Amino acid sequence: MERHAALRVTEHSHAILLATLDRPEVANAFDTAAALELCELFERFQTEQRYRCVVITGAGDRAFCAGADLKERNSLSDAQWRSQHEIFERMFRAVRDCPIPVVAAVNGAAYAGGLELVLHCDFAYASAAAKFALTEVSLGIMPGGGGTQTLPRVVGERRAKELILAARPFSAEEALAWGVVNRLCEPGKVVLEALLVAERIAGLAPLAVRQAKEAIRQGLHRDLDSAMQIEIEAYNRLVGTEDRREGLRAFNEKRKPKFEGR
């Protein structure tokens, strides 16, 4: 287990990491130090090939993440605020650009930057007791971690405008119906369910998973012809891999494949 000031990182298996925002006294809000720890964790996956999936959650059962730590921000000058926000921007990019799947296990409230963090993950499971909101306009600011861009892409423009412009909280049931989360779990079981799907992902061909994720991300907002070309280029990168040969051998030999990521 890696222990930092604000982030607890546990190796669930040889291929899966569980990252827990560990500041329950402030609803797992991220301060500058916590954001830098998240940057360090997620940026390492750009070069490190060991892990195949990451699950991110919050400590306790009250909050996943309440966003930025407003007590810390209360003492910042305008220049310091902008400087800090650049670190937050780097953190969100690191999660968004992570080459391996990132699954959010939303154990409680996901507000402001906490919801933006969920939206930058590849998909999310949530406790049935979880709550969601982009509350920034109630504080004189606006979403600055991608919320005005990611939420409309998930729930649609008009619903996103209602949620953002009215700072309207929404329930776990609404989050499921609108596609913000993929599954609701009994309170206390969301991390277990997220780790189970992470185990399934980790058992599949890691190069194929990475290429499929990148093809989805790159192609989603292109025209169909361009997106199809992106897919074919990603597909062709896999043809010469040992994992592709192992998958075919295992199918014909009626056994479980042993993928090694090469």
The catalytic residue positions are: 116, 136
**C-alpha–C-alpha distance, residues 68 and 84, integer Å:** 10
Rounded-to-integer distance, Cα 129 and Cα 73, Å = 28
Q: Which of 159, 69, 64 lies closest to 115, judged by CA?
A: 64
Cβ–Cβ under 8 Å, residues 93 and 149: no
* Residue 110 β-bridge partners: 65, 132
CA distance 70 to 15: 35
124 and 180 in contact (C-beta within 8 Å)? yes
Decide the pairing of beta strands 7-13 and 16-21.
antiparallel
Ramachandran area for residue 156 (φ above 0: left; ψ -120 to 50: alpha; else beta): left
d(Cα 104, Cα 163) in Å, to the nearest integer?
21
Neighbouring-strand partners of residue 132: 110, 170
